[in-house]
Structure 1
């Protein structure tokens, strides 16, 4: 019986090569992430904090709430002096009593940087700001805000 010399038989080894090469491509992508630039640092009490969005995509649904991921970098101040910290996006900061009820918007991480799933609306508006609320171990509440850059606002078509 003669062997079939079909297109599949002649080129199936190329699929094996692709399967061997793809993991290296994905490894390269995961080891070289590209983040948007950090926003200007602000003095918040004893802390100097610069937020950085992890991407320029709109907020996404996470446990029945919309959130946007940020990294907060501390230039001054000791992160261990923070009892609790929250981040939300909107026209005004949410009260800390309301923020304590859920598990979104909480700062977490190390002294090198704090990650946060900032509570956000489904779509940003021009009046929204990034609000940071910090409570220290002495009970002092600190609040600061940053304007959202135009890259995060929805594009208005003419």
Structure 2
């Protein structure tokens, strides 16, 4: 029973009703600490992940036979969201990244991916596509968060 509780607890990091409020809370904490880029990153990564997973699922629904042949049934939104959540929480806790911290975040992401395959009813292909979509979301959010805000010109 204990391993099952542990696995389900780990899997919570990829569930929509946990991740969405968590990302909003991280954004609020980041704004309170004056870390605007982290707030933008948090909300952008969430929005991009949701959009990418919805688009990928629409593509699979559009041609289910073709995607079924390669072992892809339903791209895992849980896997995409865990990449977003773990990366955002790691950025909140660790403003400076090191190889050890990257390894810890990667290990947690892979643990949730394994749980999604074992308990979540996803195939390995589903989880890999979800992880890739989460990675694209994080990469896109990083680019958006690094954009500079235009400076306001004082009226003459």
Q: How high is the TM-score relative to the length of structure 2?
A: 0.24
Instruction: Give the structure with the larger helix fraction.
Output: 2
Which structure is richer in relative contact order (CA contacts within 8 A, separation 6 or more)?
2
Greater C-alpha radius of gyration: 1
Q: What's the TM-score, normalizing by structure 1?
A: 0.24
Q: Which has the higher strand share?
A: 1
